[in-house]
Amino acid sequence: MNDQLHEIQQNAAHFELERWLTSGVFTWQWWFMFILLIIPWVIILKVIDRKRAHSIWFFGLMVLIITSFTDDLGAEIGTWVYPVKLVPYSLIGFPFDFSVVPVAQMLIFQYFKTWNTFSVALLFQALIFSFIGEPFSVWAGVISYYDWTYAYSFLFYIFTGTLTRVFVNYWTPKN
């Protein structure tokens, strides 16, 4: 059984590398995702509140962990696939999990300090990402959904931001 699993994994790895080399790397979608990986971090490094940097970075790390785990799980069970990947051997969408979502929510956490303002900003972020960003990503061919809706994504963004804020507020010292 282990040998059979190993052979399946080797075949899948070869397929992914071949697919990435022939129809993924350096396409306009690949460059789009590369830019999405870099630009948000440039922005956060320029505007981060250095006095609250530890709690903002903690918040971003928690969002990154949640989105990466959820993305890996969804890809593993076939809820979505990434036809174009930044790197060949990955189930997750690096630019989304490691940059766009965490940095967007870090900025919300930084600038909207009360629960009311945070919730409204998070609502707008979830609406924009779910009903504009994700449909664009599907249209661009960087993700394909199976048994997943934009409404699920909307709830995911709200849940992730809210849960992370509760967690970070609990574990970080108050000024």
Q: Which residue stretches of the chain have pLDDT < 70?
A: 175
Q: With CA atoms as reference, report the closest residue to 47 among 98, 106, 121.
A: 106
**Model pLDDT, residue 173:** 82
Q: Are 83 and 126 in contact (CB under 8 A)?
A: no
pTM of the model: 0.93
Q: Are 89 and 17 in contact (CB under 8 A)?
A: yes
Cα 84 versus chain centre, distance: 15
| Helix and strand element counts for the chain (H, E) | 8, 2
Cα 69 versus chain centre, distance: 10
Q: Are 38 and 91 in contact (CB under 8 A)?
A: no
**Model pLDDT, residue 24:** 87
- Virtual torsion, Cα 56, 59, 63, 65, nearest 10 deg: 110
**Model pLDDT, residue 90:** 80
**Model pLDDT, residue 175:** 64
